[in-house]
């Protein structure tokens, strides 16, 4: 049977490796497709802004030109309206999320070339001044390409169209107050800047896309590992609970038939160790559930004082074994019956009392419950567990409620995983309360929590 299972696992591993290999081979195509779709989505978001910038800057040039030559307003208005129409058409053709990336690319590239052709057409028709044409095309290139979403060769095409438009204006001009050499130098500078911008923009955006892809893959890997860890902890905890419960129960039965004090001491040691292991398994299971967000509270009415006595009972024997006093007080203002989750509250207060007893070698542990106000019409109860133990250093107190964190003074010498207080914090916060600690090294600690419980 074991050999058969091994063969099945090996075959599954081979299939998994093949599927992974196929995924790796297909990755470049998938990545290119995702990059194209991401660019198309950027087009839908940024193209309206690009069109608005173009219309605004080109309109400024129109005002300048019409101020110089009022008789040309109709020609300029016609060219401007045509450009606005093309912008609107491009927005309509690329607006739907279902539009393919290829269509978006061609439409936006054609729009950039067409808008530049408008400026050139105006100059050819009315034979305007070359410097005004140059100013219009510079504004157009800066305004449109600043928000142009593709980069790469589409941006190069638009930049080339702008360069050609300026060259046509220079060749066909009737009159220019600026020398041809200066205009040609400006053309070369504009073309070089546009080409460099296109290359750098394309490389930067593609590298950013690759970084996002790697981050996404790392996130998915981490989430998968986290789910596997939670499932493993939950499975192991459940499987270990049964034998631990059997050991604990059999040790309890063995105490009844122990013949002498030595045997009773041995059995009590077994029972105590089984109890500690059971508590550890409970902490691991609770933490894995909370980490997965599957722990629900079950509020119901309960008698607080009777609940408090039952919560203290398991710790009285441990305190007596260390010759510690365990003093419990319930303030008279506390309601007799409250509404809450008694099981989770017992878990919290039991953890705090258990820690206080464990970390106190001499003196006493004092537990107090009282009412410190109201919240939303419900009494706000405060519970304090004060001990005379080793205390906690200020640098450790701030992280004491984090998972697997332990104070330096107690680390290694008292055992534990550091999960108990993290679980308490999550439970109390889920109940709408708060939890904290006040401590002085070598002078004891006071752990407290507040929680609203309807009367």
Between 179-188, 315-324, 342-351, the lowest mean confidence (pLDDT) is in 179-188
| Residue where one domain finishes, among candidates 178, 207, 225 | 178
| Residue where one domain finishes, among candidates 178, 209, 243 | 178
Phi-psi region of 391 (alpha: psi -120 to 50; beta: other; left: phi over 0): left
Asked if residue 226 is part of any domain, the answer here is no
448 pLDDT higher than 90: yes
3-state secondary structure of 291: helix
Span 67-90, average pLDDT: 83
**Residue 388 vs residue 282, higher pLDDT:** 388
**Residue 236 vs residue 247, higher pLDDT:** 247
pLDDT band at 271 (very low <50, low <70, confident <90, very high): confident
Asked if residue 228 is part of any domain, the answer here is no
Quote the Cα angle for 233-235-237, to 5°.
65
**Residue 449 vs residue 140, higher pLDDT:** 449
Contact in structure between 353 and 315 (CB atoms under 8 Å): yes
Query: What mean pLDDT is reported for the chain?
Result: 75
- Tell me the DSSP string of 71-98: GGHHHHHHHHHHHHHHHHHHHHHH-STT
Using CA atoms, how far apart are residues 125 and 137, in angstroms rounded to an integer? 16
Confidence at residue 434, expressed as pLDDT on a 0 to 100 scale: 92
Using CA atoms, how far apart are residues 131 and 125, in angstroms rounded to an integer? 16
Contact in structure between 385 and 356 (CB atoms under 8 Å): yes
Maximum average pLDDT range among 19-33, 190-204, 431-445: 431-445
pLDDT band at 439 (very low <50, low <70, confident <90, very high): confident
Asked if residue 225 is part of any domain, the answer here is no
Q: Are residues 174 and 306 in the same domain?
A: no
Using CA atoms, how far apart are residues 390 and 187, in angstroms rounded to an integer? 79
Maximum average pLDDT range among 78-82, 162-166, 301-305: 301-305
Using CA atoms, how far apart are residues 60 and 54, in angstroms rounded to an integer? 10
Confidence at residue 253, expressed as pLDDT on a 0 to 100 scale: 84
Residue 369: beta bridge partners? Answer: 330, 383
Span 156-169, average pLDDT: 69
| Residue where one domain finishes, among candidates 159, 178, 197 | 178
Q: Are residues 170 and 313 in the same domain?
A: no
Span 391-416, average pLDDT: 65
Q: Which of 168, 171, 63, 188 is nearest to 120 (CA)?
A: 168
Q: What is the DSSP letter of 293?
A: T
Asked if residue 444 is part of any domain, the answer here is yes
Span 200-216, average pLDDT: 78
Record the pTM.
0.50
Confidence at residue 11, expressed as pLDDT on a 0 to 100 scale: 42
> What domain range is 338 assigned to?
300-452
Pairing of strands 364-375, 325-330: parallel
Contact in structure between 364 and 325 (CB atoms under 8 Å): yes
Maximum average pLDDT range among 34-48, 114-128, 371-385, 406-420: 371-385
Contact in structure between 103 and 145 (CB atoms under 8 Å): no
Tokens of 368: 């107090």
pLDDT band at 16 (very low <50, low <70, confident <90, very high): very low
- Report the 10 Å Cβ neighbour count for 39: 21
Quick one: what percent of the chain has pLDDT higher than 90? 11
Using CA atoms, how far apart are residues 417 and 279, in angstroms rounded to an integer? 11
Domain count, the chain: 2
- For 221-228, the CB contacts below 8 A with 24+ separation are 226/291, 227/292
Q: Which domain CATH number covers 314?
A: 3.30.565.10
Q: Which of 64, 44, 47, 42 is nearest to 138 (CA)?
A: 64
pLDDT band at 407 (very low <50, low <70, confident <90, very high): low
pLDDT band at 384 (very low <50, low <70, confident <90, very high): very high
């Amino acid at each position: 049977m074991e050999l058969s299972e091994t063969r099945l696992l090996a075959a599954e591993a081979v299939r998994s490796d093949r599927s992974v290999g196929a995924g790796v081979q297909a990755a470049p195509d998938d990545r290119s497709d995702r990059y194209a779709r991401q660019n198309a989505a950027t087009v839908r978001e940024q193209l309206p802004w690009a069109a608005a910038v173009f219309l605004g800057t080109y309109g400024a040039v129109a005002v300048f030109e019409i101020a110089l030559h009022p008789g040309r307003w109709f020609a300029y208005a016609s060219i401007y309206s045509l450009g606005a129409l093309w912008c609107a058409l491009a927005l309509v053709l690329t607006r739907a999320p279902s539009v393919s990336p290829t269509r978006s690319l061609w439409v936006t590239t054609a729009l950039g070339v067409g808008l530049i052709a408008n400026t050139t057409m105006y100059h050819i028709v009315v034979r305007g001044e070359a410097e005004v044409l140059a100013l219009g095309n510079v504004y157009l290139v800066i305004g449109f390409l600043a928000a142009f979403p593709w980069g790469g060769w589409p941006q190069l095409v638009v930049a080339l169209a702008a360069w050609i438009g300026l060259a046509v204006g220079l060749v066909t001009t009737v009159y220019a107050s600026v020398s041809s050499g200066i205009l040609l130098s400006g053309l070369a500078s504009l073309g070089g800047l546009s080409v460099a911008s296109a290359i750098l923009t394309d490389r930067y955006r593609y590298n950013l896309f690759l970084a996002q892809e790697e981050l996404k893959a790392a996130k998915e890997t981490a989430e998968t590992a986290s789910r596997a860890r939670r499932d493993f902890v939950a499975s192991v905890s459940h499987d270990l609970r049964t034998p631990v419960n059997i050991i604990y129960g059999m040790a309890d039965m063995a105490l009844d038939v122990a013949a002498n004090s030595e045997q009773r001491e041995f059995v009590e040691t077994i029972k105590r160790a089984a109890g500690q292991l059971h508590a550890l398994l409970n902490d691991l299971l609770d933490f894995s559930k909370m980490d997965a967000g599957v722990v629900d509270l079950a509020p119901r009415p309960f008698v607080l004082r009777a609940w408090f006595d039952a919560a203290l009972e398991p710790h009285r024997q441990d305190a007596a074994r260390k010759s510690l006093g365990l003093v419990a007080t319930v303030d008279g203002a506390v309601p007799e019956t409250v509404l809450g989750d008694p099981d989770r509250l017992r878990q919290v207060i039991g953890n705090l009392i258990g820690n206080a007893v464990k970390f106190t070698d001499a003196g006493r542990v004092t537990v107090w419950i009282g009412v410190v106000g109201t919240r939303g019409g419900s009494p706000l109860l405060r519970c304090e567990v004060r001990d005379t133990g080793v205390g906690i250093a200020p640098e450790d107190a701030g992280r004491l409620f984090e998972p697997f964190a332990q104070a330096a003074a107690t680390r290694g010498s008292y055992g534990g995983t550091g999960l108990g207080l993290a679980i308490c914090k999550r439970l109390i916060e889920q109940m709408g309360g708060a939890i904290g600690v006040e401590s002085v090294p070598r002078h004891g600690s006071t752990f407290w929590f507040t929680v609203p419980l309807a009367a």
